[in-house]
Amino acid sequence: MMTRDQLIQTHLTVYKDRLRQLIGFDTVSRSTSQLPAGGQYLVNLLEHLLNASVDVVPTTGAPAIVGKIAGASERTVLFYGHYDTMAPGDLTLWDSKPFELTARNGRFYGRGIGDNKGQLLAQILGFDTYLQQHDQLPFSAVFFIEGEEEQGSLHLAETVEKLKDSLLAAVELAVVVDGSMSQSGQHVLRLGNRGLFGFELTATTGQVDNHSGNAGNVMPNAVSVLTQTLDRLVQHGRVQLPHFYDGVPSEVDIPWDLIDALPFDAVAIAQQLGLATVPTKRDYYRRLMFEPTFNINSFQAGAAGDQFKTIIPHQATAKIDCRLVGQQSIPAIEADLRQLLAPELAKGQLTLTIRGRIPVSVTHLNQAKIKQIAAIIKLATGNVVIEPMMPGTVPNYVWTDCLEVPVVTIPYANFDQHNHAPNENLTEAAFVNGIKVSYELANHLADVLG
């Protein structure tokens, strides 16, 4: 019988072709163009490769795909991924077509290759590889694949609530395959993730833009109004909402032993981020994992691009994402925001649009089981580090809060995958290693369940 690695190499050409087909679907979130076709392609893979019983669960947005694989035991592990992608953005910044898989210098390029199609396919192919050698999984598995993650998983919680007493009733553990490996290139087991509160603020001062020579000093400038509002929200780097910092972990709450064991290359980090200096190791990880952020990710107003127009903008919009940590409360933060801006909101001078509410998630697995899962990853790849908190956000709270099971995150993508940016990529080594990790999870997770 061939070894795991020999079997993967034997089928790698076929695996790459499946990756090419999956990337070829334009499954941009919020779009309806090829989302159904991309979802159906995954349904076919689950049915034909894994002999899964598949339900396509409708939502008022994109449907969720739930594939159940009966194993030798009824004890069940859920594996999460998503098939929607971000829009490619400015096509002139891409070196190849975003929805056409391209290989260059040991990397695959395409929109969604890292986030999350390549990782999702590696999950499926890892189980396929295992089942080519074995008649049955030693445990039962559920693949839960959603189509709205890039919109903030708008209907995920209600879908899980709907299914928790039926299709998901037997689940004991959730494994999320999303995100990036360590900057050092080591594989990662993550025990939690930061939350997200996202919103838009729009200032409106008139019906149309006005000529600055005709209406200057008379017509209020929407940019000025909005920047003054943002100055009220954040002063000297500190958010001014009264309850924003409630629940942020103190120094004694941070698991310094796990952080001290993480890799840290200050020179590489500085080069990648374009910084002259970087914080110390502990400060770097504390900022990334255990401090909240208030990030203005977009500001739009007036004459954009190369134009120079002497106008007074009548409208300006800022998009803001807050990464949350510890026990920060999204309802309390939102209530503070609405109260602070209440006069302007009431008059229509400002409008507030909420774009995302994803709570912080932390796993509650015991140390023995955490070490078992870490050992499985190391068996597949030769290395692993344990991170207490993912700096980014995935909707893991649905598994801990709605389904009430522990969850871990195992990212398969390289650190420099450029997800959400031009030239998104996945190294061939990361793709193959993802298949290996999934194979070993199929082989050994029954031992974790006990």
pLDDT, tens digit, 9 for 90 and up, residues 38-60: 999 999 999 999 999 999 999 99
Same domain, 389 and 318: no
Residue 283 domain flag = no
| 75 has a pLDDT exceeding 80 | yes
Residue 156: which domain range?
A: 4-194+360-449
Q: Strand 76-82 relative to strand 171-176: parallel, antiparallel, unpaired?
A: parallel
Residue 262 domain flag = no
Same domain, 159 and 89: yes
Same domain, 105 and 234: no
Residue 171 domain flag = yes
What is the domain-level CATH number for residue 435?
3.40.630.10
| 57 CA to centre of own chain | 21
Same domain, 212 and 301: yes
Number of domains in the chain: 2
Same domain, 220 and 345: yes
Domain boundary (308, 328, 357) is at: 357
Same domain, 210 and 184: no
Instruction: Tell me the pLDDT of the chain averaged across its residues.
Output: 95
Same domain, 109 and 161: yes
Domain boundary (357, 374, 399) is at: 357
Q: Cβ distance 434 to 179 under 8 Å?
A: no
Task: Check residue 32 and give its pLDDT.
Answer: 67
Same domain, 384 and 301: no
Same domain, 59 and 87: yes
Domain boundary (322, 357, 392) is at: 357
Same domain, 207 and 244: yes
CA dist 407 and 391 (Å) reads 16
Higher pLDDT, 438 or 306: 438
CB atoms within 10 A of CB 397: 22
For helices 367-381 and 428-449, give the axis angle rounded to 10 degrees. 140
- Token pair for 337: 């925001």
Residue 258 domain flag = no
Instruction: Report the pLDDT averaged over residues 349-363.
Output: 94
